[in-house]
Chain A
Amino acid sequence: MRSSTFRTGTNMLVFLGPASFFLVCLLLAPIFVDLVVAFTDMAQTIRINEFTTKQFSKLVRASEDAWLGFELRSSFYRALSLSAVYIFFTLAIFNLTFGLILALTTTALPDWLGGVYRAIWLLPRMSPSVVYALMWIWVVDPTERGLLNQVIGVLGFSPINMKLDAPIVLIVTANGFIGASIGMLILTSSIRSIPEHLFFAARADGAGSLSIVRHIVLPALRWPLSYITVFQFLALLVSFEYIFLIMGPARSTMTMAMLAYTKTLAPDIGAGQYAYGAAITLILIVIGVFVALVLYRLANMTRLLMSPRIEVQ
């Protein structure tokens, strides 16, 4: 009896111990650290002198007239709306719509040919982020030597400077190419898991390609599409890697996640305002959890819990 409980204990320690250690120390603990640090004055010296809510007062200020009793300070308001625009367009245009189009078209082709196109679309995802960002910087180079300007030059337009004139379009597209490939992967495997006989039956019943997409494929993609929406929303909400690498600390693309990063840890320009960054992070965590809960509820959480078709990410 004793040896069996001993064995159970050691089994748990051997199999689950390492995972628990990593998860607790480097994912769970940081969440609580953030919670605490957000209410301190921690700065470059990484020392806590006092507990305060002044970090949040940098973001919002009390106001009699405002609806909730406070209003957002302009830089924070700007970051918030930039995040919203960036997330909405990336998700709606690329991760969902274009991902769906890629999945539908590549699965309609013979297997090997569809596979070739899918492999090419995974290229941005598999290449290192610094290389990918560098590529974009060169492509949108404002001089006539940039690839984009060469192409539109042939079409008779004068050179454009996307980093200055259309920064949001630039970061949405750069992130979108990667987002579309994630959507494509998840949706492709979902389409593949639809029983072949359903397609046969629909064709014998007289349905054309478009009717098959509408009546057979799309209904089967409801769950994967909500999964992509939830998880890609969260990923985009906190993503700053490509934005930072392509745009640098430009004000025109200072989303919330960028704000937190550039105020703290960004190389060379990070100002070490850790408490301030932690406060923004805390807001991101709250928004993330809130949206996740709402979407989970809308998309029937239990179902998502049962079969999240998690793909390469």
Chain B
Amino acid sequence: MAVAKTQADWELLARRSRRDRRIKQGLLIAFLTLVTIPVVVPFFWIFVISISARTGGVESEVLWRACAILVPTVFAYGAAHTVFRRARQRIYAAVILVLLAVVGLAFSVGDDLHLYNYRFMVNPNLVEELRGAATAGGQFPWVWVAFVNSLFVAATSMALKVTVATLAGYYLSRFAFRGRSQFLQGLLILEVFHPWMLTIPIFLVIFWIGLLNTLAGPILVLTAIDLPFFIFIMKGFFDAVPWDIEMSAMTDGASRRQAFRMVVLPQVRGGIIAIAVLGFIKGWEEYVFVTALRTGNSYWVMSTYLYYVAEDVMGVDYGVVAAVSVIYIIPSLLLYLFCQKFLTQLTLGGVKG
């Protein structure tokens, strides 16, 4: 039987609830911070090396000094965020803390910072100068050649993926045709064959159609391997567009294709942006297929450039290697940060068969 509670009982319960809530939240934050540190520190380390290392080994002294300033700042902001309830107060706290951190960093590590490691960006013949023309440095390109090639591979394969997957996704979502369910099942089965599994036979196919050692090889392959997944995503987005929209467009006199172009396509903008971002990042970072589909050094992209910078050419000059890494990672990172909204939408959009 429920016994009527007294005033004191309720107050005890309220106190206990408040305490439990605080402890729970505190433990969660402490746990997540602890496990997240190993993820974030190495990235920060690479960045610090790129702007502080002189020729020689890996330096981490600057990293620790920077952390000694930044970690307290983050904790101070966390405290300020819990204490202050108003948005304006929080912004003030953030601004003050950032200023303090900048001043602190200037004092503790300011003297060690320089951009000398980034000289590879303006000096096309850096390796040649350092190692002499006879060595591997002789055939090593300027970083912008690799950068533009990577950009070209990523952008072209992205455009192909988006176009092909959107068309197919729409057709599978809206048209009834013989073999539709077989086609969908086939797609699912193809997804089981992870593209890395097929590296060798894909190499043979590309060799036989004569695209080995051209950028067209990786572009076509990158397009193909993401297709099953992307088609399912787009089909999911098209499935979510109500039929009525299309029908009313068609009763208003549009043809099926016009209805697709003018009415349905704008509705799946989120999905298109999401697969475009994913497709671009994949093309930008690709390593396996760009190395597998060339013999020798017929073309350079950022991944092979960085690989050889780190392995062969500049192996001991950690500062330059880190600087190349930073330049390489920036486009992916920016794209990811700005389009995160669309990527999370993707996880909610889901895929229905």
User: A interface vs B, CB < 8 Å?
Assistant: 8, 11-12, 14-16, 18-19, 22-23, 25-31, 33-34, 37, 46, 102, 105-106, 108-109, 113, 117, 119-124, 126-131, 134-139, 141, 143, 145-147, 150, 177, 185-186, 188-189, 192-193, 209, 231, 234-235, 237-241, 245, 257, 260-261, 264-267, 274, 277-278, 281, 284-285, 288-289, 292, 305-313
Contact assessment for B200 and A238 in the assembled complex, using a CB-CB cutoff below 8 Å = no
Q: Enumerate chain A residues within 8 angstroms of B237, measured Cβ to Cβ.
A: none
Contact assessment for B168 and A18 in the assembled complex, using a CB-CB cutoff below 8 Å = yes
Interface check B353, CB cutoff 8 A: yes
Contact assessment for B291 and A309 in the assembled complex, using a CB-CB cutoff below 8 Å = no
Docked CA distance A307–B227 (Å): 18
**Nearest Cβ on chain B to A253's Cβ, whole angstroms:** 16
User: B interface vs A, CB < 8 Å?
Assistant: 24-25, 28-29, 31-32, 35-36, 39-43, 45-46, 57-60, 63-64, 163-165, 167-168, 170-172, 175, 177, 183, 185, 187-188, 190-205, 207, 220-221, 223-225, 227-229, 231-233, 256-257, 278, 281, 284-285, 287-288, 291-292, 302-304, 306-307, 310, 318, 321, 325, 328-329, 332-333, 336, 340, 343, 346-348, 350-353
Docked CA distance A65–B164 (Å): 54
Q: Enumerate chain A residues within 8 angstroms of B225, measured Cβ to Cβ.
A: 26-27
Contact assessment for B58 and A241 in the assembled complex, using a CB-CB cutoff below 8 Å = no
**Nearest Cβ on chain B to A159's Cβ, whole angstroms:** 13
Contact assessment for A122 and B194 in the assembled complex, using a CB-CB cutoff below 8 Å = no
Docked CA distance A106–B225 (Å): 32
Q: Enumerate chain B residues within 8 angstroms of A239, measured Cβ to Cβ.
A: 194, 196
Docked CA distance A120–B41 (Å): 11
Contact assessment for B201 and A127 in the assembled complex, using a CB-CB cutoff below 8 Å = no
Docked CA distance A192–B60 (Å): 40
Can you report 14 residue pairs joining A to B where beta carbons are below 8 Å apart?
A: A19-B165, A26-B220, A102-B35, A105-B31, A127-B333, A130-B328, A145-B57, A192-B348, A234-B194, A264-B199, A274-B200, A305-B185, A307-B352, A310-B232
Q: Enumerate chain B residues within 8 angstroms of A274, measured Cβ to Cβ.
A: 200, 203-204
Contact assessment for B224 and A130 in the assembled complex, using a CB-CB cutoff below 8 Å = no
**Nearest Cβ on chain A to B59's Cβ, whole angstroms:** 7
Q: Name the contact of A306 in the complex, choosing from B35, B200, B302, B352 (C-beta under 8 A).
A: B352
Q: Enumerate chain A residues within 8 angstroms of B46, measured Cβ to Cβ.
A: 131, 134-135, 138
Contact assessment for A278 and B302 in the assembled complex, using a CB-CB cutoff below 8 Å = no
Contact assessment for A145 and B59 in the assembled complex, using a CB-CB cutoff below 8 Å = yes
Contact assessment for A288 and B36 in the assembled complex, using a CB-CB cutoff below 8 Å = no
Q: Enumerate chain A residues within 8 angstroms of B227, measured Cβ to Cβ.
A: 19, 22-23, 27
By Cβ-Cβ distance, the 8 closest A-B pairs, closest first, are A26-B224, A30-B201, A15-B171, A128-B285, A19-B168, A189-B347, A238-B197, A34-B201
Contact assessment for A26 and B202 in the assembled complex, using a CB-CB cutoff below 8 Å = yes
Docked CA distance A46–B232 (Å): 36
Docked CA distance A289–B285 (Å): 28
Docked CA distance A274–B350 (Å): 38
Q: Name the contact of B348 in the complex, choosing from A129, A139, A189, A307 (C-beta under 8 A).
A: A189
Contact assessment for B193 and A31 in the assembled complex, using a CB-CB cutoff below 8 Å = yes
Q: Name the contact of B204 in the complex, choosing from A37, A193, A235, A292 (C-beta under 8 A).
A: A37
- Of chain A, the residue at the smallest CB distance from B198 is A30
Contact assessment for A127 and B285 in the assembled complex, using a CB-CB cutoff below 8 Å = yes
Q: Enumerate chain A residues within 8 angstroms of B347, measured Cβ to Cβ.
A: 185-186, 188-189, 309, 311-312
